[in-house]
Amino acid sequence: MSTNSQRLLARVALPAAAALILIPGSVRAQATTAAKSSQSTTSSSPREERWLHVRVIASDAKGETVRVNVPLELAERVLPAVNHDRLHQGKVKINSAQIDDVDLRALVDAIRTSKDGEYVTVQGSDNDVRVAKQSNHLIIHVVDKAGSKKSQVEVKVPMKVIDALLSAGKDELDLVAALHALGSQGDMELVSVKDSENTVKVWLDSKNVSD
């Protein structure tokens, strides 16, 4: 091999060696990025994860907006790690003194086995309240006519979720079980609050972004 060839080889060898070391990493990084970007560009995630969305929009001139998107599975797994005040191991203690006179389970059992219909309808000068069961969902509708905010609240909860919520002890609500039950539900709006100051919406779907 001539001296010129050896020099050329030495010059080429260094960048080639560096490229060989770096290319697999960059190719893998690109492949990962491509896979992730294809994953993120779709609004619906591939494993059909269920996402809980919260959106609050203020009605004032500034129009403050808060959007929170949480995978249900993540909430389900992280919640047991929170131990604060009445929340322990994914279960929240409720004040037994307040529900001593009411057997919540018996009440829910009664609602579950009953036919669809309106159970409570109150039409007053201050409030309108409606509690109904419809297609295995408990629906609570409250209109506050007297307050300055003139709020309108609508809550729709699947009966399965209520069952799961009450599946813990007498004076406990099992939030993790409720989230798990919620995960098996289809896309739905859970809570809607509208008043003169804010619009709040809590809903469930398979998208990893807010609409």
Partner 1 sequence: MVLLAKAALVMGGTLALAGAYTFREGVIRVDVDEYRAGGAHVHVWAPAAAVPMTIHFVPKHHLRDAAEHAREFLPLSHALIRELKKFPDADLVEVVDGPQHLQIRTHAGKLQIDVEQPDENVHVLVPLSTVDDVIEQLEANSPGA
CB of 136 to partner 1, least distance (A): 29
Retrieve residue 100's tokens: 């001593």
DSSP notation for 88-136: ETTEEE--HHHHTT--HHHHHHHHHHSPSEEEEEEE-SSEEEEEEEETT
CB atoms within 10 A of CB 130: 16
CB of 170 to partner 1, least distance (A): 27
CB of 12 to partner 1, least distance (A): 10
For partner 1, the closer CB: 68 or 120: 68
For partner 1, the closer CB: 49 or 144: 49
For partner 1, the closer CB: 83 or 135: 83
For partner 1, the closer CB: 39 or 196: 39
Q: Do residues 180 and 76 make contact, with C-beta atoms less than 8 angstroms apart?
A: yes
Strands 87-88 and 65-71: unpaired
CB of 174 to partner 1, least distance (A): 18
For partner 1, the closer CB: 37 or 114: 37
Positions that interact with partner 1 (CB under 8 A): 3, 6-7, 9-11, 13-14, 17-18, 21-22, 25, 32-33, 36-37, 39-40, 45-46, 49, 51, 62-71, 73-74, 77-78, 80-83, 208-210
DSSP notation for 143-161: EE-SSTT--EEEEEEEHHH
Give the integer Cα–Cα distance in Å for 190 and 204: 7
Q: How far is CA 178 from CA 13, 109, 185, 210, in A?
A: 62, 16, 11, 22
CB of 97 to partner 1, least distance (A): 28
For partner 1, the closer CB: 58 or 110: 58
Give the integer Cα–Cα distance in Å for 34 and 82: 35
CB of 49 to partner 1, least distance (A): 7
